Amino acid sequence: MCGIVGYIGSGKATPILMDGLLSLEYRGYDSAGIATLEKNKIVVMKDKGRVKNLYELEGMNDLAGTVGIAHTRWATHGKPSKENSHPHMDNSNSFAVVHNGIIENYADLKDFLTSKGYTFYSQTDTEVIPNLIHYYYTNGPVSILEDGKQKFLGAVKSAIYDLKGSYAIEVISSLCPEEMIVVRKDSPLVIGKGMSENFVASDIPAILKYTKDFYLLDDNEFAVITKDTIHFYDNSLIEHNKSLKNIDWDANAAGKDGYEDFMLKEIYEQPTAVRETIGSRFHLGEKCSFDDVAISKEYLSKVNKIYIVACGTAMHAGLSGKTLIEKLCKIPTVVDIASEFRYRDPLIDENTLCIYISQSGETADTIAALKLAKSKGAKTLAISNVIGSSITREADYSIYTHAGPEIAVASTKAYTSQVVLLAILAMYFAEILGSYPQEEIEKLKSDIIDLPTKIEQVLDNTEEIKNFAKKIYTEKDMFFLGRGTDYNASLEGSLKLKEISYIHSEAYAAGELKHGPIALIENGVTVVGIITNPDLVEKTISNMQEVITRGAKTLIITNQILPNANFDYVVNIPDTNPLVSPILSVIPMQLLSYYISKFKGLDVDKPRNLAKSVTVE
């Protein structure tokens, strides 16, 4: 979940490393550090806390090296501290390493190295890596000692061979000052190609302003990088060629563009994100197009179950996907949490289609669940926002949202883009199968085409949400209620509130209220109700009356005409098909969470204990 950056070239490394770290801080902000080669000596600057703290370190402005690595940390092993922050060095100060991931057998490796005379100064799993590299550099087999460069690569390879777990690793050495070595397994790493300079990062946006030409490193693949060359090697150190990909993202999309926070910017980018996701797949009067998904009617007719597997917000998007697929395609669909999926021996065979959703495409639990399904013979389809991400390279088929870079930890535009893409995918399957009346599909398409304009209408009327947030931001507990797709939306609204405001919040299917949760309702508690399905208006209002009777304050988000029911606040949103209503109803809840967090004086984009891309299990 940490962020890493690297630079090797002719220019000064420090400004580029710091710029990259600042753009990656959403990946972790417990500590940060950089290491540069200064006259063939490694100099490390690191500290606890945010990246900006590094600017205050004595000697920071004196760094002039043209080779360097950098890291911003989300703590796993060892508390946030200067000692535990990266980069880490070996005992001889010859090798410096930054690492994203978890080394599961670090305790055994630490015991081995301690028995060989090595000393450790941190509580981290990472510190074993530079010391292992040093050990193999000085004790490696004859075959890797032919020259200094081969010796460096061979030592890194030998060290990596001992590691169990996940990792993206950058290594520099004072013994080979013109090289950087990188390797990855189950953790993202990209290499940006420049002119007489090359860049490394855990995420493309970190270096997008410097290049749009990228190599996407595969699992167990090594790269030896100089300012002019990049050589790739497999796990046996056999060199191979690799294709260069051009990533056509606007570098300015990773900036705030005048907004106070990334989250607010990304909330307001939702009309564009949804519009571009729709436009990539269909236009009115046309059938949905997924030319990159070679799924036939014969195959779909044999599918007896669909799994949608994801984590957090992506899982909530999957719940809307389940409703759409079952309604339009008549195929039983199960939504499962990725972190639970592979530990319960799911019933999968060659007639199971498994759909995996991950904004970053690097979510460790989701990738592991995908690999399990493939091993059992299922077809796998990945939905991601990042072209060439790990999940898209593992899956049989991949389709993409067009949300652009999402920087804030709390996901907004990725969620709405995922729901709309799942809706289009469900229509595509239904058109192949002929399982739903085409005239009804056309009506749904029309509703989906109108969504971007309707999102803009919601965003043009935010004052009521802001005023309500100001009245309740000091509260400790809140509840969200809904039925059907409104319940799906309420889960996401509740998660947003927890993530960035630290208010305890729960979402319940409204009909379940009387089966236990109503015991938590007392005078003054705030309850948010979502009502967008005309068939469920009366039922949901009855449930809201139950909380009003017990003294709750109520906020209703609706596109229905409601009877006078003594609600405290009502936020009206445009009408749409209930199957895609979460795309509209979630936006007031995103804004509610945002404004509450701002009124509390919290860091909206970087909530405590959370990171954007969860690359550890």
- Residues forming the active site: 2, 612
Q: How many CB atoms lie within 10 A of CB 52?
A: 14
Query: How far are the Cα atoms of 212, 479, 517, 609 from residue 475, in angstroms, in the given order?
Result: 46, 11, 18, 21
Tokens 């904004």, residue located: 359
Let me know: does 56 contact 109? Beta carbons within 8 Å.
no
Burial status of residue 139 (CB atoms within 10 A of its CB: 0-12, 13-18, 19 or more): exposed
| Residues in CB range of 391: below 8 A, 6 or more apart | 356, 358, 361, 362, 363, 366, 367, 370, 382, 384, 398
Alpha-carbon span 595 to 590, nearest angstrom: 9
Alpha-carbon span 391 to 187, nearest angstrom: 11
- φ/ψ (deg, to 5) at 310: -170, 180
| Residues in CB range of 135: below 8 A, 6 or more apart | 113, 116, 118, 159
Q: Can you spell out the DSSP letters for 578-589?
A: GGGTHHHHHHHH
Alpha-carbon span 303 to 338, nearest angstrom: 21
Give the pairing of strands 333-337 and 305-310. parallel
* Strands (E) located in 202-267: 213-216, 221-225, 230-233, 239-240, 245-246
| Exposure class string for 347-384: b at 16+ Cβ within 10 A, else e | ebeeebbbbbbbbbbbbbbbbbbbebbbeeebbbbbbb
Instruction: Using CA atoms of 598, 601, 604, 606 in order, give the dihedral in degrees to the nearest 10.
Output: 180
Q: How many helices (H) and strands (E) does the chain have?
A: 17, 25
From 438, 446, 466, select the one nearest 597 (Cα to Cα).
466
Alpha-carbon span 434 to 230, nearest angstrom: 50
Start-to-end Cα distance in the chain? 10
From 95, 105, 99, select the one nearest 86 (Cα to Cα).
99
From 319, 372, 330, select the one nearest 349 (Cα to Cα).
372
Alpha-carbon span 2 to 154, nearest angstrom: 26
Instruction: Using CA atoms of 265, 590, 49, 122 in order, give the dihedral in degrees to the nearest 10.
Output: -120
